[in-house]
């Protein structure tokens, strides 16, 4: 009956996004070309050499013709050759160097000197309990600014990071709305111990559901990918560390950003499960009974349901009955401001995703308020508060013998509705196991989760003397979750049983809290071309979790 089953539906999305950001400036500039020399007549072939400021060749530099797909790279000696027209423009680029543009004109040979992008090398990267310049990093660390990913209209920051970081695998293992993502840094490192990295938000290790974090609250990501992270976070950092810093007010700047997006998720265009339609299945069953009578001693007739296969045509398409086009929408408003010695950043967000299967959806209400106050030249205080409410309405739609895959085994000759348009109670066909009506199961069961979370931290930073600083930080990760499940007698029954069954219900609660206290004494001093950075710290963390479950039948 079934030629192939797809139990996990990961819908593609067709999305329309609008981003409004007052004060946002788009700039476009051409790099100067004052180091270009050697201009001669050309007949279409242009050769050249790319070197750095010291005259050393740059192998692997990208040479492309602006506005086309034509391009090449330099060899080990920095040389290249490319076919061009006199009116075209070359773009020469390499990581860590300024990009330059070169008008071809009548040149035959071009020598280009690329300068190092000092600004990028001096950029600060968050690394565990402090920051370092890119040029000083010795470990494997990747940094991404959230502003580079703001055009991705998705509900989870993990979805934005997919495919953006070398050595980091981010997978979506279920099509259920609002479900978390799987992180793997440098692959799976353990068979039984788990392979998820440690997540740290504004310096506080967290245990909360990552889907509760509004991506529009985030300013930067830093991924610590090597074993050096365990020197500060211990064995829990063995699978890597994901450091998240959230938005803060900018000195002397007030900005309001509005982010709104609406999209439609659709299964159209994806490969659908290849199953028999009503006529094909009835013909198969008819031939089955005819062969059983001819070769196996079956003495009965072909059941009336299968005697005239042509009457069914396409029959019941369970895939279409259980799935739909579903909307996804995201709205976020952020305000960052600075007033005298006070900095603040407030982000308010709402996200909703309807599932491509009926009666499934996910909602998130989020708020973040980050505040800093510079008391005097030496003392700085800060308080961050981020409450989140998530509402999930999901049934067991993924995996073997769950709603979708089980419905593929249902008889396509059976009409799931009676003459009044009401769903029938169960599916019963000759020679087949009984099943519940999967339309009733999908629409009548209740499976709802409400998750209230609070992530907060406060800090005090004191500049003691001549590069010596002390920082105290306390953080709280709090979560309260409840889960309600109810199966009425009309929708009860598993894969090979049919209703009516005893009604059943389940109510679960989960409460967790985690507090963290840190004391850090830091020293930083630079002399000449050398610098010293030292850290002495004491950190304590406690995690507590309580779980209750209540079930009943009949």
Domain segments of the chain as ranges: 45-115, 120-246, 278-313, 320-553
pLDDT band at 542 (very low <50, low <70, confident <90, very high): very high
Q: Is 211 in contact with 169 (CB distance < 8 Å)?
A: no
Q: How confident is the model at residue 177 (pLDDT cuts 50, 70, 90)?
A: confident
Q: In the beta sheet, which residues pair with residue 486?
A: 446, 505
CA angle 400–402–405, rounded 5-degree value: 65
Using a pLDDT cut of 90, give the percent of the chain over it: 34
In this model, does residue 6 exceed pLDDT 60?
no
Question: Is residue 214 helix, strand or coil?
Answer: coil
Distances (CA, A) of 311 to 141, 278, 314: 65, 9, 9
pLDDT of residue 460: 94
Counting beta carbons within 10 angstroms of the beta carbon of residue 93, is it exposed (0 to 12), middle (13 to 18) or buried (19 or more)?
middle
- Exposed e or buried b for every residue in 202-225, given b needs 16+ CB within 10 A? bbbbbebbbbbbbbbbbbbbbbbb
The pLDDT assigned to 455 comes to 92
Of the ranges 1-10, 20-29, 221-230, 283-292, the best mean pLDDT one: 283-292
Q: Give the torsion sign (CA, 80, 81, 83, 86).
A: positive
Count of residues making up the chain: 554
Q: Do 487 and 436 contact (CB within 8 A), yes or no?
A: no
**Residue holding tokens 């500049």?**
463
Q: Hey, what's the torsion of the CAs at 146, 149, 155, 156, to 10 degrees?
A: -60
User: With contact defined as beta carbons under 8 Å apart, do 240 and 197 qualify?
Assistant: yes
Question: Do residues 519 and 538 lie in contact, with contact meaning Cβ atoms separated by under 8 Å?
Answer: yes
Task: Quote the pLDDT of residue 329.
Answer: 93
Judged against a pLDDT cut of 80, whether residue 552 lies above it is answered with yes
Per-residue pLDDT tens digits for 107-160: 888 888 888 765 544 455 455 555 555 444 445 667 777 777 777 777 788 887
Q: Is the pLDDT of residue 399 over 90?
A: no
Scan for tokens 């998240």, then name that residue: 244
- Residue matched to tokens 């090449």: 72
pTM for the model stands at 0.72
Name the more confident of 406 and 474. Answer: 474
- The Cα–Cα gap between 374 and 107 comes to 58
The whole-number pLDDT of residue 549 equals 97
- Burial track 101-130 (b if 16+ CB lie within 10 A, e otherwise): bbbbeebbebebbbeeeeeeeeeebbbbbb
Q: Which residues contact 494 (CB under 8 A, 6 or more apart)?
A: 401
- Cβ atoms of residues 222 and 125 within 8 Å: yes
* Predicted pLDDT of residue 493: 67
State the average pLDDT over residues 404-418: 90
> Do residues 384 and 456 make contact, with C-beta atoms less than 8 angstroms apart?
yes
Report d(CA 86, CA 152) in Å as an integer. Answer: 39
| C-beta separation of 330 from 351 below 8 A | yes
**Confidence grade of residue 20 (pLDDT, cut at 50, 70, 90):** very low
Task: Write down the pLDDT at residue 504.
Answer: 92
pLDDT value at position 32?
36
* The pLDDT value given to residue 385: 94
pLDDT at 38 (0 to 100): 36
CB 147 within 8 A of CB 177: no
Mean pLDDT (the chain, rounded): 81
pLDDT at residue 363 in the model:
94
Higher-confidence residue of 132 and 186: namely 186
The CATH architecture assigned to 45-115 reads: Sandwich (2.60)
Residue 114 or residue 5, greater confidence? 114
Residue of higher predicted confidence among 187 and 477 = 477
Residues contacting 51, CB < 8 A, separation 6+: 57, 58, 78, 111, 112, 113, 114
Does the pLDDT value for residue 324 go beyond 70?
Answer: yes
Residue with tokens 């040389």: 79
pLDDT above 90 for 510: yes
Report pLDDT for 379. 92
Burial class (CB in 10 A: 0-12, 13-18, 19+), 414: buried
- Cis bond upstream, residue 500 (ω within 30): yes
Q: Tell me what pLDDT residue 235 has.
A: 78
Averaged pLDDT, 317-331 = 92
Element (H, E) at 539: strand 530-553
Query: What's the average model confidence in pLDDT over 486-508?
Result: 86
Q: Does domain 320-553 have CATH number 2.40.170.20?
A: yes
Per the CB < 8 A criterion, the answer to whether 481 and 449 are in contact is: yes
Provide the CATH topology of domain 120-246.
Ferric Hydroxamate Uptake Protein; Chain A, domain 1 (2.170.130)
Contact 474, 516 (CB under 8 A): yes
CA-to-CA separations, 296 to 65, 281, 288, 299, 392, in angstroms, rounded: 74, 21, 11, 9, 52
Confidence label for 309 from pLDDT (cuts 50, 70 and 90):
very high
Mean pLDDT of 286-298: 91
Cβ–Cβ < 8 Å for 476, 513: yes
CB 183 within 8 A of CB 194: no
Q: 31 falls in which pLDDT band (50, 70, 90)? A: very low
Compute φ and ψ for 344, nearest 5 degrees.
-145, 150
Q: Distance between CA atoms of 473 and 467, rounded to whole angstroms? A: 19
Question: What pLDDT is stored for residue 117 in this prediction?
Answer: 67
User: DSSP letters along 479-530, please?
Assistant: EEEEEEEEE-TTT---TT--S----EEEEEEEEEEEEEEEEEEEEEEEETTE
Does the CA dihedral 354-207-348-366 come out positive or negative? Answer: positive
Q: What is the DSSP string of 334-380?
A: EEEEEETTEEEEEEEEEEEEE-SBTT-EEEEEEEEEEEEEE-SSSEE
Nearest to 481 by CA among 547, 385, 386, 396: 547
Contact present, 212 and 240 (Cβ < 8 Å): no
Return the SS3 of 531.
Answer: strand
pLDDT value, residue 494? 67
Each residue of 435-465: pLDDT tens digit? 899 999 999 999 999 999 999 999 999 998 8
Residue 305 or 99, more confident:
305
Over range 287-293, report the average pLDDT: 92
**How confident is the model at residue 447, as a pLDDT?**
92
Instruction: Give 486: exposed, middle or buried? Use CB within 10 Å, 0-12, 13-18, 19+.
Output: middle
pLDDT band at 531 (very low <50, low <70, confident <90, very high): confident
């Amino acid at each position: 009956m079934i030629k192939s089953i797809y139990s996990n539906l990961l819908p593609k999305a067709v999305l329309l996004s609008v981003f409004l950001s007052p004060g946002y400036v788009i700039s476009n500039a051409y790099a100067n070309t004052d180091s270009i020399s050697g201009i001669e007549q050309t007949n279409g072939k242009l050769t050249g050499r790319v070197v750095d400021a010291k005259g050393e060749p740059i192998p692997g530099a990208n040479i492309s013709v602006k506005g086309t797909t034509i391009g090449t790279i330099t060899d080990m000696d920095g040389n290249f050759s490319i076919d061009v027209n006199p009116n075209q423009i070359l773009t020469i680029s390499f990581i860590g160097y300024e990009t330059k543009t070169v008008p071809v004109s009548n040149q035959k040979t071009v020598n280009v000197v690329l300068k190092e992008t000092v600004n990028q090398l001096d950029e600060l990267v968050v690394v565990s309990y402090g920051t370092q310049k890119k040029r000083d990093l010795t470990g494997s660390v990747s940094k991404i600014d959230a502003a580079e990913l703001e055009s991705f209209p998705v509900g989870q920051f993990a979805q934005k990071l997919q495919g953006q970081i070398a050595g980091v695998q981010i997978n979506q293992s279920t099509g259920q709305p609002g479900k978390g993502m799987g992180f793997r840094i440098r692959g799976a490192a353990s068979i039984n111990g788990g392979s998820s990295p440690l997540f740290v938000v504004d310096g506080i290790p967290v245990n909360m559901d990552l889907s509760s974090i509004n991506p529009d609250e985030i300013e930067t990501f830093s991924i610590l990918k090597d074993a050096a992270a365990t020197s500060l976070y211990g064995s829990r950092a063995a699978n890597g560390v994901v450091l998240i810093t959230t938005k803060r007010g900018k000195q002397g700047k007030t900005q309001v950003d509005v982010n709104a997006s609406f999209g439609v998720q659709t299964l159209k265009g994806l490969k659908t499960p290849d199953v028999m339609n009503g006529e094909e299945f009835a013909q198969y069953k008819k031939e089955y009974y005819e062969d059983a009578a001819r070769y196996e001693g079956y003495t009965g007739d072909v059941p009336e349901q299968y005697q005239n296969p042509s009457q069914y045509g396409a029959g019941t398409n369970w895939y279409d009955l259980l799935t739909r086009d579903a909307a996804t929408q995201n709205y976020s408003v952020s305000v960052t401001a600075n007033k005298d010695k006070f900095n603040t950043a407030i982000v308010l967000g709402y996200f909703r995703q309807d599932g491509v299967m009926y009666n499934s959806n996910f909602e998130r209400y989020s708020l973040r308020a980050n505040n800093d106050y510079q008391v005097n030249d030496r003392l700085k205080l800060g308080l961050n508060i981020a409450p989140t409410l998530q509402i999930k309405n999901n049934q067991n739609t993924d995996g073997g013998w769950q709603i979708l895959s089980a419905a593929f085994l249902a008889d396509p000759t059976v009409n799931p509705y009676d003459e009044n348009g009401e769903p029938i109670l169960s599916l019963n066909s000759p020679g087949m196991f009984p099943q519940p009506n999967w339309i009733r199961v999908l629409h009548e069961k209740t499976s709802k989760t409400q998750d209230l979370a609070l992530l907060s931290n406060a800090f005090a930073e004191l500049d003691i003397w001549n590069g010596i600083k002390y920082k105290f930080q306390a953080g709280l990760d709090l979560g309260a979750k409840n889960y309600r499940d109810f199966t009425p007698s009309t929708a009860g029954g598993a894969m090979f049983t049919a209703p009516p069954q005893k009604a059943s219900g389940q109510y679960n609660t989960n409460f967790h809290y985690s507090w963290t206290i840190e004391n850090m004494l830091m020293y930083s001093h630079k002399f000449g071309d050398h610098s010293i950075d030292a850290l002495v710290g004491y950190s304590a963390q406690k995690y507590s979790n309580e779980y209750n479950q209540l079930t009943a039948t009949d």
